[in-house]
A and B are shown apart, each in its own frame.
Chain A
């Protein structure tokens, strides 16, 4: 296949990728866009196959079958609520592939008389480093989300210094390699150090901050792939990698801004003083009472309300209660209640987590309201039902300067007439900080597992 034909077909692939992303602007044709991208990918694979000839076809087939079937099985069998960790996993293997490619290239090129050109050696060093960081970091992210590792941040004194020193070391080695020091072991050191750094920098980040981390790691893999394109002089890798790099970067910034923290603060801040408890919001609970309600009470409140807003959080995903929420919402709508869902940008474990969760339960997407749209409506809401959300409705973010979440924009559920909080118990939950919303006179707590509570509510509303 001639150079022109190959590159023309690669260009077609690039076009399909851009279209795939373009079509994501509208849920109506988003799925078609993804299919177009898949066709483009097949095209690129076919073209590459033709380019390399048939001498090693069997190795390619075996490798692709191995990886592909693992991908297919894992992706099909996994529950929708485990999507965040699957995204992390598949992101990681992509980064790993980029790092391995760098390792192969350096082996092939060295030793070279004179010096390999700067751009190629830099590309090898950088894609190896970034790919390794992304691979290892993604695996840790997977572990945290899959709850194989503790969700709480794992910290130790001097951690920042160690991480920075390690990073500096890796960069130093990478620079040496890029400058032309001809030693393959340098790349191994870079890759190994990068992997270690990836582990160490994701480990201290709490499960609640995972949306930002996964976006960032996605950007890293994209970047590693793009740089790999410079190594191999392949435009598809450069463009596709950069599209992903740009996307991941933009999403990371959006997520951080939604939490009103800088990206640096999220990555390096270990979610602020989890250890340091602020006075004033003393979590003693002594002298502060919560009002409890029974499912029957809540059912009456809901059924006779004009407007009800559901506020989902990660707890909803854990309880697997999204179908029950939707059933309840449908029942209420049949009674003439106006129902909507308020989605905070960082509710859940990745951007749009709540949207995906509720979409799985067939919630019509016009009912899903973003924070800026939802907040003004709380004042005319009769009942706000908080299911498994905590930090995103915590008024300390508005009022308490000492709180680690101070400054984060939240959903102002306390503007509603009544707030019903579905919670298993008074334990602090994933984030580990107190929430004065629970002690607000407008609030009633409905204790119990979310799924059970919702089932009872459904039965009670039906009986009314």
Chain B
């Protein structure tokens, strides 16, 4: 048997604010570990993540008893948010696909006269 718990509005707000503050700290912590090399995919990846706004759009479009106004606005919001989600993740994937470690080409046997030496590691 489940116990239904309803929170008062003020309590709910307090929870949400707590989560908000913690999320900010979490965000800074996690992001600061991303190397400069990956800053562009970071921007693209976070772009994809805020596509979660689609959840909000779906809630609007899916609500019962809607006026035509809400139909239209909700529909538009869902279209935009879907573009954000799909576009964001695909672009990020394309960028990250490119970061492969490759073997360096070996130096030729015949090096130039002054003995350049092997490339530094």
Contacts and interface: CB of A to CB of B under 8 A. Distances in A.
B99 A27 contact: yes
Given A71-B86, A370-B36, A41 B116 contact: no
The prevalent SS among residues of B at the interface is: helix
Interface in A31-88: 31, 33-35, 37-38, 41, 44-45, 48-49, 51-53, 55-56, 59-60, 62-72, 74-76, 80, 83, 86-87
A68 B54 CA distance: 11
Nearest to B34: A24
A233 B78 contact: no
Contacts of A337: 116, 119
Contacts of B46: 21, 218, 222, 243-244, 247-248
A66 to B, nearest CB: 5
A145 interface: no
A90 B88 contact: yes
A351 B43 contact: yes
Interface stretch (A93-101, A399-407, A430-438): A93-101
A75 B87 contact: yes
Contact of B55 (A237, A243, A339): A237
A181 interface: no
A94 B13 contact: no
B56 to A, nearest CB: 5
Interface residues of B, number: 96
A90 B41 CA distance: 14
The prevalent SS among residues of A at the interface is: helix
Nearest to A366: B101
Nearest to A88: B47
A60 B78 contact: yes
B49 A240 contact: yes
Nearest to A45: B54
A220 to B, nearest CB: 10
Contacts of A336: 107-108, 111-112, 115-119
5 contacts: A30-B96, A234-B55, A304-B116, A351-B39, A352-B36
Lowest 10 A-B CB distances belong to which pairs?
Answer: A246-B27, A67-B82, A52-B62, A71-B87, A336-B116, A71-B86, A352-B40, A75-B90, A63-B78, A352-B39
Interface of B: 2, 9, 12-13, 16, 19-20, 23-24, 26-28, 30-64, 67, 69-71, 73-108, 111-112, 114-120
